[in-house]
Chain A
Amino acid sequence: MFGLVAIFAIENLQKATFETGVELFNDKEYAEALDKFLLLENEGIYNADLMVNIGNCYFRMEELGNALVYYKKALKLDPTNEKAKRNLRYGKSLTVDAQSPMENDFISRFIRTIFDSFSIKFLAVISIILFILIIAFINYLILKYRGREKTVQYFVLVILIVCFVFSFSLGIKKWYDFNNHFEGVLITESAIGFSGPGADFTRVFTIHEGNIFDIKESRDNWTLIQLNSGLGGWINNNNFQRVDFK
């Protein structure tokens, strides 16, 4: 009983914090609004809409890199979030570096589009629904069709299984990527990529604020990243922000 009351109290507090943040944003007090929204994030509310709001605060404060980090975070939580997609696209158009997607051929783009158009939750739910349907169907066949002709029933079953395998494997892949594949966004004005973990290695490239890249591995204070163009190099950890939830 006491626990329930405590949960309600916390929810009300969060709601008040959020509403204050929105009001501050409307009053163009972006830094204060940001503090409120970050407070919620730190309390463990990982919500795509909240991430978009944080991104917008950064955007208005002209911190493009951080804004893109949060749009990316929103999309990581919900790849179908329209506002996050739009804002990311617009933000990317303002960066110094051109950021075209790596896949240029039709098939890769098609797969990428499919991959991005389902959220992990959606895939999980679809998978379990398909699984229940399949098992129910099998049970039905066992009970009613013993020793009888059932070609059509097998055909339906195969289709269901294919759909299940597709959504389930996609979901598992997303789950894996969610925990093992990380992106980073450059938040300083520019950074130099070296051929090894240290400034005394050969310079490979220079990237600018807002550049989004894949994180490959980390060593001490240096991280190996791969740019959209396929270029790889080590940059200092202080230059970028991971698209990740601690």
Chain B
Amino acid sequence: MKNLLITKEIILKKVLSFIIIFLNIVFLSAASYKVQAYVDKTTVGLQDRLSFTVEISGDNANGMNRPDLPDIEGFDFVGQNESQSSSYSIINGKMEASVSFKFIYYLQPQKKGLFVIPAIRTEIDNRTYRTKPIQVKVIEGTTAKLQPKTPQNPFQSRGQRAQNTQNNSSNLSDNVILETELDKKEAFLGEVIIANVVLYTRYEITNIQYGDSPSYTDFWKEELYSAEHLKFEGAVYKGRNFNKILLNSIALIPTETGQLDIPRVSFDVDIRTRSNDFFSFGRTKRYTITANPKKIRVKPLPAPQPNDFTGAIGRFTMTSDLSNDQVKVGDSFTYTLTIRGTGNLKNFEPPLLPEIKNLRFIKPEIKTTIDDSYRNVSGTKQIKYLVIPEEKGNYFIPEINFTYFSPTQKKYITLNTPPKKVEASAGEQINFNTAIAKNMVTAEGQDIAFINTEIDFSSFSNPFESIYYWLIYIFVLLTIPVTIVFASKQEYLNQNKNLLRSRKANKILKKYLKKATVNANLHNPDFYVFAQTGIKNFITDKLDIPRGAGTNEILEKMKTDSLFADSVSETEDFLKHCDEVRFMPGGFSKENISNDYQRLTHLIKQLSRR
């Protein structure tokens, strides 16, 4: 019967292991285990019992064999227990299984003193795991009332917890520990040191407040992480099981060499104690926890330093990139240099491009990006140049060297990028103003102007007080009456011109008339010529029309003139008659001359009234 049960159990175990193996094959690629050992207290009384736990956890922790407990000096093995817990979680759609076995050994101290529980060896999947040895102090009597709650197993020791009515600071320092953990024990000048401030607790902590922030005199400091939520995780610290929280993480870059103190940090923590009877609530009390001071040895960087070393320490890679290798003159392209890696990215000068003729570099844009990780200071430093070719041609951006110091290899390493070629073709003409802003001259002092070393010895004279000044005015003014007199006289002369002509006309008439009279007395036919010309000239002068005007024109003019209008027909008749006598054959007769002379004198009398 009993055998059957055992067989059943074996079958069950086998089935279970099969399922777990199946799950393992399906969901997980590699098995990893964690083996740790811890005690419930590091100080134990002779009357007390110590529980020593070996915990094996992993994603495939099936069928663990109980590790063999070696003989432990100063303790008697009094009993054992074991428990198994598994948890499955789905994270980002991926299922993770975690199984943990706890093998608990109860040990009875035999005598006072300091004892060591040695490392426990266990073999899982042909791999050997070792736990850390734990130091335990055995004292007289009991430590029961000092026993805090064990966060890992809240139901384990109800009786003990009932005795735990108050926390006193003697066991506070055992159960709440603040530790500054450095990622290295010694560093080079300028190397990044990561300092994590970790709180280990076995109490229930409800609140944590930052105390005074210490000043890091010998370091350049940068905050990497600061806890925002109280999220604890289990951890073993100095052989005991604790709840652990990373409070903050800072990057320290030493600026001095030698043995440097890392200042102690302190936090105020609120610790809640459990109530011991049903009707009262737990109380919360505030304690200030201070971390132990730490020291770190900082070594100078080994000499000689390469010329192009600008202080970069860590592990880096460098790449260069060209946005465009065929551009037009005046257009821009970008040349980007990227340094990626872990180290003091923010604390060194990036390599710079040398000046290249006919390439204009706009002041580079330097951007440092730190990855959002508090484990180390890694990220990228990007140097972005905007480049404008000023003339066409082929340009080479030379290879760029970047030297950093590797603390792990303890030597300087130089990285370089290959040279890049850019082809610039002719573009639109652009004039570059190469003038740099000029210095503005500002006054440095003030004084009077210097004396005049040369003067003309002309004395001041007021023109208004000079008689000549006013005489000029009077003289100039006098030109107006002179002009007026001159102008009016001119006018008068213009008016008299016509009078003059008509006076002259009478003279002409008289002259021609005289000749006509002589010819008439001689009965000469020339009488008509002189009579006609004389009358014509007389009328043209009188009427102010050009001589030589035609007969018809003269007659037309006469009609418009009031004085000549009534004698137009008579004049016309006479002039016609003259033409007839002169040009018609046989028109001339001596008898008619005296008669025509009478007509002429009559006509002249009529015209001369004017």
Contact = CB atoms under 8 A, between A and B. Distances in A.
Contacts of B479: 135-136, 139
Contact of A83 (B449, B459, B460, B476): B449
Contact of B469 (A91, A128, A135, A245): A128
Classify chain A: how many residues form its interface, as a range: 35 or more
Interface stretch (B192-200, B212-220, B450-458): B450-458
Given A14-B457, A131-B476, A142-B487, A49 B452 contact: yes
Contacts of A178: 462
B447 interface: yes
A49 B460 CA distance: 11
A47 B457 contact: yes
Nearest to B464: A175
B196 to A, nearest CB: 67
Nearest to B450: A56
Interface string B328-347: 00000000000000000000
A134 B348 CA distance: 82
B473 interface: yes
Contact of A90 (B448, B458, B469, B473): B448
Contact of A124 (B450, B456, B458, B469): B469
A45 interface: yes
A86 to B, nearest CB: 5
Contacts of B476: 131-132, 135
Interface string A57-93: 1010000000000000000011000110011001101
B463 A121 contact: yes
A22 interface: yes
A120 interface: yes
B483 A143 contact: yes
Contacts of B430: none
B470 to A, nearest CB: 10
Contact of A120 (B446, B448, B463, B483): B463
Interface of A: 11, 14-15, 18, 22, 25, 44-50, 52-53, 55-57, 59, 77-78, 82-83, 86-87, 90-91, 93, 120-121, 124-125, 128, 131-132, 135-136, 138-139, 142-143, 146, 171-172, 175, 178, 245
Given A44-B459, A52-B452, 15 more contacts: A22-B451, A22-B453, A47-B455, A48-B460, A50-B452, A90-B446, A90-B448, A124-B464, A128-B469, A128-B473, A131-B473, A135-B480, A142-B484, A146-B487, A146-B491
Interface of B: 446-453, 455-465, 469, 472-473, 476-477, 479-480, 483-484, 486-487, 491
Instruction: Give 5 nearest A-B pairs by CB, closest first.
Output: A124-B463, A46-B460, A49-B452, A49-B455, A83-B449
